[in-house]
Chains A and B, each alone.
Chain A
Amino acid sequence: MSPQAFLRRVGFVLFLAVVTAFWALPMLWLVTAPFDAHPGLTVRWPEWTLDNFRRLSESPYAFSSLRNSVLLAGGAMILVTVFGALAAYALSRVHVPGRGAILYGMLLLSSIVTGTAAMVPIFQLMFTLGLIDDRTGVILVLTGGLLPAAIFVLKDFMDATPRSYEESARVFGASPTQVLRHVVLPIARPGLATIAVWALVNAWGDFLTAYILLRDPTKTPAGVVMYTFYSEGGQANLPLISAFSVLYALPVVVLYIFVSRRYGFRFHGGIKS
């Protein structure tokens, strides 16, 4: 190796190290700060304690909010996966005129639906439906926002499944639901697992929808409760926030590992190359 090549190599490794450190720091903070008696905004070797978690348990809504998050995100996950699969299957198999336009249109609108811009009309809609301060309302709005992208990705999975599988089952006398249960869904399983986790993670991280649609503090999810750990003056209560952050992040990480082990993620992406 020439000296120049060597130097270039060293420079490249250094660059990678800096980039890695940049992304790793927040992670390190997340695993050290909660166990530090005096957590700050820097990463350092903690003065080990579990006191932060004890103080967290004294806060009235901390743990109930995690349960609420499970309900909201779980509900949205189930609805997105079920309706996404059905819609993607239909769109993949039935020739609808302007199918591509419908898909792209939905995808475009979906980013608006759960976005800040649409919050007033969504609030009015939920108000008219009597779904204010109701978890169902939040689940529906989250589902609506996630569905288009889910359909888009799942349709690709369905398109990749040869029709002859279904036709073969039909000739053997399978009903449409049997074709779906025995053939289509099992084959699309990696795609469904991917979408389920993706929907759950998205709904889990939601703040705005729940913040606007829910009043009752016993119903609020973790994302909103996190916000209450700021004082009136906007001062962050770092011991509580750091401890809560770990609890908030843990379920998603566990789920991710579980699904990845069990089903294996296979992401073909939504765009045809």
Chain B
Amino acid sequence: MGEIRIEGLTKVYSGNVTALDRLDLTINDGEFFALLGPSGCGKTTLLRTIAGLEVATSGRIHIGERDVTKMSPGDRDVAMVFQDYALFPHMTVSDNIAYPLRIRKVDQASRAQTAARVGAGLGLNGLLERRPGELSGGQQQRVALARAMACEPSAFLFDEPLSNLDARLRLEARTFLKGLQHQLGVTTVFVTHDQAEALAMADRIAVMEAGRLRQLGTPAEIFHRPIDTFVANFIGSAPMTMLDADLVRGRLYVAGTTIEQEVAVRWSGPDPSDGPVVLGIRPEYVRVGAFGPMTVQATIRIVENLGATVLLTAETASGDRLQALVPDGTQPAVGAQVELSPVAERVLLYDEEGHLMTPATQAAPAPA
């Protein structure tokens, strides 16, 4: 009922800015879907085009069974929560929540009733007679959610719903929002430029860049197998370590070490052509000590304490930089000579153009 199907969607703004470039995307019914990407990649534009606030230059949008491409926003049966929440400052919280019903000519009494019911579900009792200006950021966000819920749409559209909250509240709101979406089971598309937020909340993520879809997948897929170096760089709290490497007749030369053919072929896929490649490994999957097929000698340069974990930045004799995330208390001192071993199952190889070479069998989502 709430599936959103986007086919060949293109949006060109006046002045020849192509914000969306032939985008194909299907968002499943009931899914919590994240649009993730750097600033200016077209996330907001995509959301606004789904809502009908922007007119598509070409392409089609279906919501459920209906082709809504040419419909006005009000007929699309979606509710949008704006980044600034867009609560009407001259109306009380109750009137704000019930505003969609006022448009539908529901009478005053049942409007107040619905507002009270929906508001109570979001912990807004006692605030219903206030005005938005008298609420905290977190409360305003919940009022905006309540207003979207009051209209019982077939899809929710959120534009950076958490970005106006402070760091602590954002974590709380993240958990709350995910729980709420799960409970309502309504198709939800949300925009974020925060990869951690997308990984934590979404059922599936679309990573966008320059108006195009770079990768589409579950958080685990996106985290463990970024399809190219752009996504690999973008995803993860600590960026993936990228080491320049060379494939020569099946062997891999990287950071002063040589990887034998039977291991290298697991990373590169069968019959790779010789030439420069990039080896990617997340700091989470680099261990101190000699384990597995790849071990490099390195000197610890920087030690960053992140609480329960410590991020090490080491430099090899060949000048490559490698990061490792180790449990607190086990970290070597700055200047120490250590052996670092990437977990073989987590190593990814990217070709010269930055495309992933490593076959799916290599990096299984569940750690070994």
Which residues of A approach B to under 8 Å, CB–CB?
Answer: 162, 164-165, 167-175, 178, 182-183, 186-187, 189
From B74, B82, B83, B89, give the contact of A173 (CB < 8 A): B74
Please, which residues of chain B bring their CB within 8 A of the CB of A162? Answer: 84, 86
Give B78's nearest chain A residue, CB to CB: A171
From A168, A173, A174, A182, give the contact of B86 (CB < 8 A): A168
Give A186's nearest chain B residue, CB to CB: B90
Please, which residues of chain A bring their CB within 8 A of the CB of B168? Answer: none
Measured CA separation A186–B53 after assembly (Å): 23
Q: Given contacts A162-B86, A187-B90, is CB(A172)–CB(B99) below 8 Å?
A: yes
Q: A178–B103 contact, CB under 8 A?
A: yes
Measured CA separation A21–B218 after assembly (Å): 78
Please, which residues of chain B bring their CB within 8 A of the CB of A165? Answer: 86, 88
Interface 0/1 of B40-52, CB less than 8 Å to A: 0000000000011
Interface 0/1 of B96-137, CB less than 8 Å to A: 000110111000000000000000000000000000000000
Q: Given contacts A165-B88, A183-B88, A187-B89, is CB(A173)–CB(B80) below 8 Å?
A: no
From A164, A172, A186, give the contact of B100 (CB < 8 A): A172
Query: Could you list 16 A-B pairs, sorted by A, with CB under 8 Å?
Result: A164-B83, A165-B86, A165-B88, A167-B53, A167-B80, A168-B80, A168-B82, A168-B86, A169-B103, A170-B72, A171-B74, A171-B76, A172-B79, A173-B103, A174-B74, A182-B102
Measured CA separation A86–B103 after assembly (Å): 22
- Is there a chain A Cβ closer than 8 Å to B73's Cβ? yes
Q: B53–A172 contact, CB under 8 A?
A: no
Given contacts A164-B86, A170-B74, 20 further A-B contacts (CB under 8 A): A162-B84, A164-B82, A164-B83, A165-B86, A167-B53, A167-B80, A169-B88, A169-B99, A170-B72, A170-B73, A172-B79, A172-B99, A173-B74, A173-B100, A173-B104, A174-B103, A182-B99, A187-B88, A187-B90, A189-B90
Give B74's nearest chain A residue, CB to CB: A173
Q: B73–A171 contact, CB under 8 A?
A: yes
Please, which residues of chain B bring their CB within 8 A of the CB of A175? Answer: 74
- Is there a chain A Cβ closer than 8 Å to B166's Cβ? no
Please, which residues of chain B bring their CB within 8 A of the CB of A164? Answer: 82-84, 86
From A167, A182, A186, give the contact of B82 (CB < 8 A): A167
- Is there a chain A Cβ closer than 8 Å to B23's Cβ? no
Please, which residues of chain B bring their CB within 8 A of the CB of A189? Answer: 90
Q: Given contacts A172-B74, A172-B151, is CB(A167)–CB(B103) below 8 Å?
A: no
Measured CA separation A189–B89 after assembly (Å): 12
Measured CA separation A142–B99 after assembly (Å): 39
Please, which residues of chain A bring their CB within 8 A of the CB of B51? Answer: 171
- Is there a chain A Cβ closer than 8 Å to B75's Cβ? yes
Closest Cβ of chain A to B44, distance in Å, is 11
Measured CA separation A162–B52 after assembly (Å): 18
Please, which residues of chain A bring their CB within 8 A of the CB of B73? Answer: 167, 170-171, 173
Measured CA separation A169–B99 after assembly (Å): 8
Measured CA separation A189–B53 after assembly (Å): 26
From B86, B89, B102, B151, give the contact of A167 (CB < 8 A): B86
Closest Cβ of chain B to A201, distance in Å, is 26
Measured CA separation A174–B72 after assembly (Å): 10
Measured CA separation A165–B104 after assembly (Å): 18
Closest Cβ of chain B to A169, distance in Å, is 7
